[in-house]
Amino acid sequence: MKKILILSFFLSISFYFQTKAYADEKFDISTDSTYTVLKNGETQVAQHIKITNKTQFYYTPTYTISLSIKDIKNIKVYNGNEDIPYSITKDEDLTSVEINFKKRIVGLDNINSFYFKFDTDSISKKIGNIWEVNIPGISKPEEFTDYNISLITPNSFGNPSFIKPNKKLNEKNSIYKFTKEEIGESGAYITFGDKQFYKFNISYHISNPNLFPIKTEIALPPTTNYQDITINNISHSPKNVYQDEDGNWLATYSLSPQEKKDIEVTGTIKTNAHPQKQEITLKQRVQYTKQDKYWEVQDPQIQKLAKELKTPKKIYEYVVGKLNYNYEKAIGENERLGAIKSLQNTNDAVCLEFTDLFVAIARAAGIPTRAIEGYAYTQNSKLRPLSLIKDVLHAWPEYYDDVKQTWIMIDPTWGNTTGNMDYFEDLDLEHIVFVIKGKDSSYPVPAGGYKTNPDSKDIEISFAREQDFSIKEIYEVKNDLQNFYLSGFPIEGNIKVTNTGNSILKDKKIDIYSKLEPKIQSLLTGDIPPYGTKNYKLSYKNTPFLTNQEYTVKIIYAQNVLDKSFKVGIVPNNLRIYIGGAIFVTITAALAFALKSRRLFIQKQ
């Protein structure tokens, strides 16, 4: 992620007058801008700028446009058929174009009208599987009477999946229009493409410093309602991988005394533009409104805010406006404050504080809410920072929407740092979930947090092709039914389902047939992560006491048939052999003894 993309660059205007004056006092300024994106991503920008005199005597000898973009090319400034001279200055962050007018436009209501055009490769970028278009914001919108933008994109881009600011567009021929109020300081962000693909290589370092064996676990990136995961390889196979109540995938390991393991996990990710439906139970609803260490739901201040704000949208807006992102804290000692301390230290917030404050207020308002920690792809660490800096991790909340019947991820941190760009109505394709924290505000630990060397780089994520993402659904079924069961007693065993594929195994049906009662049984596997195993109890009613018969249980799954035969009786076959053998030996010994005794008796006579 070394390449930096300008998500929002700010247009600033400076005026130089014979006497000091402000633009809104002496002039009305209006701008009509057209951004034409070509198939290769190059963007042609054309601005028609009008400066209308509001006084009789003031005029504009120069006009300066400053852009935080470096690759401006093919600049042209003109009025009708006449070119207007300009000069360019560049510093580390800005390219400034100073326009020097040849004519003095003086007089009330007279208009200085001119065109400013340039080409750039920084407005539109192909990012993995999608196209992103970033329209610059305005540093001082109040200086403009009107500021209208038309965006023209090639038909090959298709329809947008995200538009920030969120709005319903009546697009015709791929033309999108924005007003000054919509653009504001944050600009506009449009994504074309409804899915993104990544590949990952994550290292986990676990150890046991004790003199006795221990069990431990690591959190693998899970499939959620926003993303699909494949686990293609785990260098050290875990004992099991299970899915917890929050949906985390936890791989379990046993470590001997003083043992260390360096585990490497590789796989692919598909992020989706819109979440899948995911219902929650009443038990979960209660769980996700509870207080926890960093979510002080019962605190009077939090309760007061919850009663005032009430809705997720208003809570989001409050958090975005209340806290200020601390860039120095993000790269230094990053102590997690929790919700209450965040309110007391509003200038000392990073993503964890934005998240914790939202979660606490939302839970206090009765809204099921959880915290997410993971990875967020960013090309501008100033506008979209990553606060858990060791492995460029990020945190953001999600709340449950009863109308949509699913979890909705939002990002108040980036809403704050991008100048109020909308990260509430829609997120993006660049947030990757590592762990979900709903039951516990501190656990599980996300990938990147399993370190023996604090400076190690343990997360590598890069873009992948769609063909690189391939789900392999494979699983195997075994049973531990015995070969013999005593008649008159219950017949019990287990069916063991192991996910040997690379993705989540969801609700696979297994049918079991037998002449025993019940004759037909069915089970659903539920969710089993890759490398995971689940056991399901299988039981039959007691058979009559004098039963002596062989039965077969037929297990059918995924067009496979597994047969298991066993005997039900009073005495097992092998026990009968042992008893028969014992009887035979006893009788033989008795006969031999009797014969020997008879011979001794005859001899004595």
Q: Looking at residue 583, what is its pLDDT? A: 60
Q: How far apart are CA 605 and CA 597, in angstroms?
A: 13
43, pLDDT greater than 70: yes
Contact (Cβ atoms closer than 8 angstroms) between residue 34 and residue 115: no
Q: Looking at residue 123, what is its pLDDT? A: 92
What mean pLDDT do residues 533-560 have?
Answer: 93
Fold agreement between 282-441 and 475-569: no
Q: Looking at residue 386, what is its pLDDT? A: 55
Q: Looking at residue 331, what is its pLDDT? A: 72
Residues whose CB falls within 8 Å of the CB of residue 4, separated by 6 or more in sequence, listed in order = 379, 380
Beta bridge partners of 463: 198
Q: How far apart are CA 469 and CA 455, in angstroms?
A: 31
Q: Give the percent of the chain with pLDDT over 70.
A: 87
Q: How far apart are CA 562 and CA 477, in angstroms?
A: 8
| 15 φ/ψ angles, rounded to the nearest 5 degrees | -120, 145
Whether residue 238 is preceded by a cis peptide bond, meaning omega within 30 degrees of 0, is: no
Q: How far apart are CA 471 and CA 270, in angstroms?
A: 11
- Write the pLDDT tens digit of every residue in 198-243: 999 999 999 999 999 999 999 999 999 999 999 999 999 999 999 9
Q: Looking at residue 109, what is its pLDDT? A: 93
Q: How far apart are CA 296 and CA 306, in angstroms?
A: 12
Domain boundaries, the chain: 10-193, 282-441, 475-569, 573-605
- Coil, strand, or helix at residue 282? helix
Q: Looking at residue 594, what is its pLDDT? A: 59
The CA–CA distances, whole Å, from 418 to 5, 188, 219 equal 13, 11, 31
Q: For the structural domain made of 475-569, what CATH number should be given?
A: 2.60.40.10
CATH 3.10.620.30 assigned to 282-441: yes
Q: Looking at residue 3, what is its pLDDT? A: 29
Q: Which helix (H) or strand (E) holds 29?
A: strand 27-37
Q: Label residue 99 by pLDDT band (50, 70, 90).
A: very high
Average predicted confidence (pLDDT) for the chain: 87
What mean pLDDT do residues 319-334 have?
Answer: 86
183-192, 453-462, 546-555: range with highest mean pLDDT: 546-555
Q: 10-193 is classed in which CATH architecture?
A: Sandwich (2.60)
